[in-house]
Amino acid sequence: MTLANSLAALDAAHQLHPFTDARALEEKGPIIIEKGDGVRVWDSTGKEYLEGMSGLWSVALGFGEERLVKAAHEQLQKLPYYHTFSAKSHEPSIRLAEKIAEMAPEGLNHVFFTNSGSEANDTVVKLVWYMNNALGRPQKKKFLARKNAYHGITMASGSLTGIEADHTDFDLPILPVIHLTTPHFYRFGAEGETEAQFTARLLKEIEDTIAREGADTIAAFIGEPVMGAGGVLVPPAGYWPGVAEICRKNDILLIADEVINGFGRLGTTFGCQRMGFTPDIMSVSKQLTSSYMPLAAVVFSDAVYNAVADNSHRLGGFAHGFTASGHPVATAVGLENLKIIEERGLVAHAAELEPMFQKGLRDMLEFPIVGEARGVGLIGAIDLVADKATKRKFSKPGQVGQIANGFAHEEGLILRAIGDTLALCPPMISTEAEVAEMLRRMRVAVERTVKAVAEQGIA
């Protein structure tokens, strides 16, 4: 038995994988990724792939960035671990908190570190509830979120998530959360409705929900500026400024989930800046360290901080945190990662690549099964449909997406099939030539899928 086969057998025997059919994995085995360099990774058979998803929307600097390795190594030698509980601190967490506050929209000056985006959004829930209790508003606990949004997978963040499959048999949601209409005009616009009318309808839905529930019971509205794992869903013009105005008018906190959008993905430092609004709270992760180390953060306003700080003083402490909150190695890597993003002008680079990248996706509309192409900056997707004229979906959701995903792997491209949506999220270091090659391989995969759909009579 080869090493690869041995590892595959061990993996199937002992490891339960996220978002994976465990029985199918037992039968087929995993694809074992062995090494990476730049925008490429290699599996245990030696096959090379262009990593068109930046791992999980996250490896901004690609694979093998020596400066991040050095930052981790030096910090491991100096102080491999220390906590930030009970008024303890260390330089990497201090410097990174300062840097994040410097980069954040004006007024967001305070940072709480966690290990993942899910933990960050769990912390957001607790932070908001703690704040409202401190302000004598114990009834102000409900959250407004959106269907198809992804905010994490723990009990609280998974409740905020609006993807049905992520709730099934987990008994979620457990929070008082109301999931509103997905702001995706192509799929949820009514027949004969203009995009402007669609936006107005969604904003009215928010206002009507607040009127029905009572603004004094609603704590916050949470949303990704551009939805990621729900299918790269771009909101219509005017949506976010309208949401922000409604929240201000009703004293409802506005939370931007920047876990995917943040640190340049949309061609601006944060997605909220691209979408034209300023939140009270942001959650960030992924591109914060290019996922070289687990790290996330909640970034929040002076008003939120002051209420929380006053309450911590009254109670004798803010009784929340994680063993690795502000981990010195993770924060040292995060600080170096953000320095590299700035030094190499990668936010501007993403903006410069946007036109050719988005055009490459739109060019795939020529295929009979591609219903929509969309995206912002260096994130985009195409929808595969059974009938372009009516936008009719395939009868077995996800079947065609998996066929296309398989062809993409054969062509040496890692993309993500979200049902029958094919998503791309290239590393921010990608050159124009590398992005063009990703798009070429994606086109070949779609061409092969068109043929397979016809041959198999899939409708």
Mean pLDDT over 104-133 rounds to 98
Residue 235's SS3 state is coil
Cβ(272)–Cβ(287) under 8 Å? no
Q: Percent helix, strand and coil across the chain, each rounded to 5? A: 45, 15, 35
Task: Judge if the upstream peptide bond of residue 173 is cis by omega within 30 degrees of 0.
Answer: yes
Confidence of residue 2 (pLDDT cuts 50, 70, 90): low
Q: Residue 458 is inside which H or E element, if any?
A: none
Residue 1 in this model has a pLDDT that exceeds 90: no
pLDDT category, 3, cuts 50, 70, 90? low
How far is 288 from 261, CA to CA, in rounded Å?
11
d(CA 18, CA 29): 14
**8 A C-beta contact, residue 297 and residue 284:** yes
Task: Compute the Cα dihedral for 280, 285, 289, 290 and give only its sign.
Answer: negative
155: which DSSP letter? H
User: What pLDDT, in 10s, does the model give residues 367-417?
Assistant: 999 999 999 999 999 999 999 999 999 999 999 999 999 999 999 999 999
d(CA 160, CA 147): 9
Residue type, 372: E
Share of the chain above pLDDT 90, in %: 99
DSSP three-state, residue 277: coil
Residue 381 identity: A
Does the structure show a pLDDT above 50 at 328?
yes
Residue 135 has pLDDT above 80, yes or no: yes
Separation between Cα atoms, residue 274 and residue 354, nearest integer Å: 13
Instruction: Tell me what the mean pLDDT of segment 345-359 comes to.
Output: 98
- Helix or strand (DSSP H, E) at 420: none
**Residue 347 near residue 267 (C-beta atoms within 8 A):** yes
Render pLDDT for 284-318 as a digit per residue (tens, 0 to 9). Answer: 999 999 999 999 999 999 999 999 999 999 999 99
Round to whole Å and give the CA distance between 387 and 373: 15
How far is residue 216's CA from residue 132's CA, in Å, rounded to a whole number? 10
Cα 361 from Cα 399, distance rounded (Å): 21
- Sheet containing strand 108-114, edge to edge, reads 108-114, 296-301, 281-284, 253-257, 218-223, 142-146, 177-180
**Which residue, among 201, 293, 268, 186, has the nearest Cα to 238 in the 3D structure?**
201
Half-sphere exposure of 96 (CA within 13 A, CB side): 32
The DSSP call for residue 313 is H
* Structure tokens belonging to residue 334: 């995060």
In this prediction, residues 423-443 reach a mean pLDDT of 98
Please determine, for residue 431, whether its predicted confidence score (pLDDT) is greater than 70. Answer: yes
The 10s digit of each residue's pLDDT in 180-191 is: 999 999 999 999
Q: In terms of Cα–Cα distance, which of 159, 144, 157 is closest to 218?
A: 144
CA distance 20 to 17: 6
The single-letter code of the amino acid at 229 is: A
Does residue 4 carry a pLDDT above 90? no
Q: What rounded mean pLDDT belongs to the chain?
A: 97
What domains can you pick out in the chain, each with its CATH number?
A: 31-64+346-456 (3.90.1150.10), 67-343 (3.40.640.10)
Q: Note the pLDDT of residue 192.
A: 96
Q: How many residues does the chain have?
A: 459
Classify residue 97 as exposed, middle or buried by CB count within 10 Å of its CB (0-12, 13-18, 19+): buried
